[in-house]
Amino acid sequence: MNTNMLGTEEMVAKRGLRLLRMLEDHPQPLIQLSPEDRVLEYNPASVPLLEAWRWTAFTEAPEMVKRLAKAARARGEQVEMEVAVGTRRYTLVAVASSDGVVGLYGREITTRGLESEPRLEVAGGDVSKPSGGPERGDALTGLPNREVLVNGLGRLLERAVERGGRVALIKVNIDNCRDINAAYGHRFGDEIIRLIGHCIRDHVGERDLVCRDAGDEFLVVLSGFAERSSITTLCDALLAAVPYRASGAGLEMQVSLSMGFAVYPEDADSAETLMEHANHALSEAKNAGRGCWRDYLSAARANPLISGSHLCRRLLEALRHRRLRPFYQPIVDAYDGRVAGFEALVRWQDAELGWVSPQEFIPVAEARGLAVEMGRQVAGAAMEQLGRWRAAGHEIGVSLNVSKRSLMEPAFVAEMRALLYVRGLRAEWVTLEATEQQALLHDATCREALERAAASGFRMALDDFGSGHSSFDMVADLPFHELKIDMSLARKAKSGRGRRIVQSILEMCRTLGVESVVEGIEDERLAKVLRAIGASRLQGYYYARPMPAEAVMDYLATKGTVASADAKATR
């Protein structure tokens, strides 16, 4: 055996070990074949098959298995055959990796006895078996792809209504698939996607449809169930079947699923909304910590606003009529409370929903592609106000929150300049706030937009510093003029250790010539502490809550603005 072969075998054996741990509890036969058709690994559920074939690690694979493996390697896609072992019948699916290793996945079909049952037909064909050709099937899992489902779902719903039946759509997401790819490589990640696809397929009936949606997501369409509880039972069974554990390279990771489902016709009135609502339920499952399922109905009941399509429609309407408007919260001098500028914070009062919090509608705007338009309207309104304040002689600035979507827009900086230009304003009066997450150092497009905006004269601020994955690199490497210390970190300044941390951040800002603003000041005590450790700008309810534009002039009249000698710092 040459060393090259040994290397391959070692690699295969290592991977086999990792897989073995994951697969041991799988209820269906799973066998891994070496490039030479030897058994590398098998799980306990494979034993009846191996015994019937008198196939061991020391004997050759049965002829039909060899043929199946050969076909899988040659075609580079999944092939399957039916085999009978005593009274049991299995569908044996073979999938080859590029290194010649073949995974055999058995699916027992003995007990199904559903051949006479109606099969799911979509897009004019039978797709309940994962045998779709390249244009309809997903190459990795052999399952039908999203397109098949999208094309056929409408018709399926129509037929369900005709028969007085219901259809459930479950959206399944593999938690942390990206991390698994990063830790163990894409091939291993693919293996997991493939296995989970088959596991889902194994858990549903023959006439139900399992599709690979995209990446690490699957869509399951169930029909012919009587109670909603059948769906939750299935979700529970899937959760129980997939607590896989991936291990290797001194690292162990859990593989789990999150699921969300919605049912037609009670939760949705069309294929489109059914998809949307299953999606919302999945988001709720993710928000709840992953590794669980959520039912659209209860998720919507717990939080009526997650009936997102409704919220989205209202938001669209609001944007169309320009009903969103910013409120303004002052950013003040830590010593005398005079105003250096205002942060514009978007507000929405809907005729039907009442006041909707930005935490609720901003994510919807981001998800539905409305964030750029929202940002544009807020920026326009805030610059309008800035023009008024300036015209009244107040030398203050305005801060705008900029979403990642806006930063990614090629015309973003040009549009912002145009907004300034038509009002005769200067870029240095406007601060653009990007949050840590948005300003990801490694995102070249964002980085470039930040640099272009700074080069155009806008002041740039890094918002919510200390709330997430704070990185000092960001302050050093990107053109920020201001650092906004998040209220979660600011609160820690009340204790000795936290105070020293905030103090060193303030000192770092001074050393770098970066302005600092501490957010979320709710009481005099915290304001005093922060003054004592050198904070120069503060913002929070203690000074003022965000106020409508009409209240700003009065506020300015009572508090005054930072003296023109200080004005340099606000630019």
By annotation, the residues acting in catalysis are 216
Angle, alpha carbons 476-477-483 (nearest 5°):
50
Residues making contact with Mg ion (CB under 5 A): 401, 433, 463-464, 519
Residue type, 259: M
Kindly state the tokens that stand for 36. Answer: 């030479």
Helices (H), 108-260: 146-162, 177-184, 186-203, 228-241
Kindly state the tokens that stand for 545. Answer: 């809550």
330 is a contact residue toward ligand C2E (CB under 6 A): no
Q: Which is nearer to ligand C2E, 154 or 380 (CB)?
A: 380
Q: CB-based contacts of 326: which residues, under 8 Å, 6+ apart? A: 344, 345, 346, 347, 378, 381, 382, 385, 549
Kindly state the tokens that stand for 536. Answer: 């120069």
Q: Which is nearer to ligand C2E, 110 or 357 (CB)?
A: 357
- 217: partner contacted, choices Mg ion, ligand C2E, none (Cβ within 5-8 A by kind): none
Q: Which is nearer to ligand C2E, 34 or 401 (CB)?
A: 401
Angle, alpha carbons 66-68-80 (nearest 5°):
155
Window contacting ligand C2E (CB under 6 A); options: 18-26, 309-317, 440-448, 513-521: 513-521
Positions 374 through 413 that interact with ligand C2E (CB under 6 A)? 375, 378, 401, 403
One of 39, 271, 520, 552 touching ligand C2E (CB under 6 A): 520
Alpha carbons 199 and 535: distance in angstroms, whole number: 57
Alpha carbons 295 and 368: distance in angstroms, whole number: 22
Site string for ligand C2E, 415-444 (x = CB under 6 A): ------------------x-x---------
Q: Cβ distance 215 to 177 under 8 Å?
A: yes
By the 10 Å C-beta count (0-12 exposed, 13-18 middle, 19+ buried), 569 is classed as middle
Least distance from C-beta 490 to ligand C2E, angstroms? 9
Beta-bridged to residue 375, according to DSSP, are: none
One of 346, 432, 434, 529 touching ligand C2E (CB under 6 A): 346
329 is a contact residue toward ligand C2E (CB under 6 A): yes
Beta-bridged to residue 354, according to DSSP, are: 350
Least distance from C-beta 454 to ligand C2E, angstroms? 18
216 is a contact residue toward ligand C2E (CB under 6 A): no
One of 216, 217, 463, 482 touching ligand C2E (CB under 6 A): 463
Distances (CA, A) of 180 to 12, 173, 245, 248, 459: 18, 14, 10, 11, 39
Least distance from C-beta 345 to ligand C2E, angstroms? 4
DSSP sequence for 426-473: -GGGEEEEEETTTT-TT-HHHHHHHHHHHHTT-EEEEEEETSSS--HH
Least distance from C-beta 460 to ligand C2E, angstroms? 14
464 is a contact residue toward ligand C2E (CB under 6 A): yes
Place of tokens 């326009």: 380
341 is a contact residue toward ligand C2E (CB under 6 A): no
Window contacting ligand C2E (CB under 6 A); options: 154-162, 264-272, 289-297, 540-548: 540-548
Count the site residues for ligand C2E by CB under 6 A: 22
Least distance from C-beta 326 to ligand C2E, angstroms? 6
- 522: partner contacted, choices Mg ion, ligand C2E, none (Cβ within 5-8 A by kind): ligand C2E
Window contacting ligand C2E (CB under 6 A); options: 273-281, 314-322, 506-514, 517-525: 517-525
106 is a contact residue toward ligand C2E (CB under 6 A): no
Alpha carbons 24 and 30: distance in angstroms, whole number: 9
Q: Which is nearer to ligand C2E, 378 or 509 (CB)?
A: 378
Q: Which is nearer to ligand C2E, 35 or 540 (CB)?
A: 540
Least distance from C-beta 565 to ligand C2E, angstroms? 27
Alpha carbons 571 and 567: distance in angstroms, whole number: 7
Alpha carbons 397 and 451: distance in angstroms, whole number: 20
Q: Which is nearer to Mg ion, 358 or 479 (CB)?
A: 358
Binding residues for ligand C2E, rule: CB under 6 A, are 329, 345-346, 358-359, 362, 375, 378, 401, 403, 433, 435, 463-464, 487, 519-522, 540-541, 546
